[in-house]
Amino acid sequence: MRGIILAGGSGTRLHPLTSVHSKQLLPVYDKPMIYYPLAVLMQTDIREILIISTPNHLNVYRELLGDGSKLGITLEYAVQDEPKGLAQALLIGRDFVGEETLCLVLGDNIFYGTRFPDMLRAEADRLDGCTLFGYPVSDPERYGVAELDADSNIVSLEEKPAEPRSNLAVTGLYMYDNEAIDRAAGLTPSDRGELEITDLNLTFVQEKRARLVNLGRGSAWFDTGTHDSLLEAATFVQLLEKRQGIRISCLEEVAFRMGFIDRDQLALNGNELSSSSSYGRYVMELAGA
pLDDT tens figures, 50-102: 999 999 999 999 999 999 999 999 999 999 998 899 999 999 999 999 999 99
Average pLDDT, the chain: 94
**Average of pLDDT values for 162-186?**
97
| 168-176 and 102-106 beta bridge pairing | antiparallel
Q: Is the pLDDT of residue 18 over 80?
A: no
Q: Is the pLDDT of residue 197 over 90?
A: yes
pLDDT at site 125: 97
For residue range 246-277, list pLDDT tens digits in order.
Answer: 999 999 999 999 999 999 999 999 999 977 88
DSSP secondary structure code for residue 209 in this structure: -
pLDDT at site 223: 92
Give the whole-number percent of the chain exceeding pLDDT 90.
88
Distance between CA atoms of 47 and 102, rounded to whole angstroms?
Answer: 12
What pTM, to 2 d.p., does this model score?
A: 0.96
Question: Residues 156-185, buried b or exposed e (16+ Cβ, 10 A)?
Answer: ebbeebeebebbbbbbbbbbbbeebbebbe
pLDDT at site 225: 83
For residue range 94-122, list pLDDT tens digits in order.
Answer: 999 999 999 999 999 999 999 999 999 99
Q: Is the pLDDT of residue 218 over 90?
A: no
Give the whole-number percent of the chain exceeding pLDDT 70.
99
pLDDT bracket for residue 216 (50, 70, 90): confident
pLDDT bracket for residue 20 (50, 70, 90): confident
Q: Is the pLDDT of residue 9 over 80?
A: no
Q: Is the pLDDT of residue 134 over 80?
A: yes
pLDDT at site 10: 65
pLDDT at site 289: 64
Distances (CA, A) of 106 to 121, 155, 289: 18, 24, 34
Contacts by 111-116 with C-beta closer than 8 Å and gap 24+? 111/36, 111/40, 111/171, 111/173, 111/215, 111/219, 111/220, 111/221, 112/219, 112/220, 112/221, 112/236, 112/240, 112/248, 113/215, 113/218, 113/219, 113/220, 114/218, 115/218, 115/219, 116/43, 116/215, 116/219
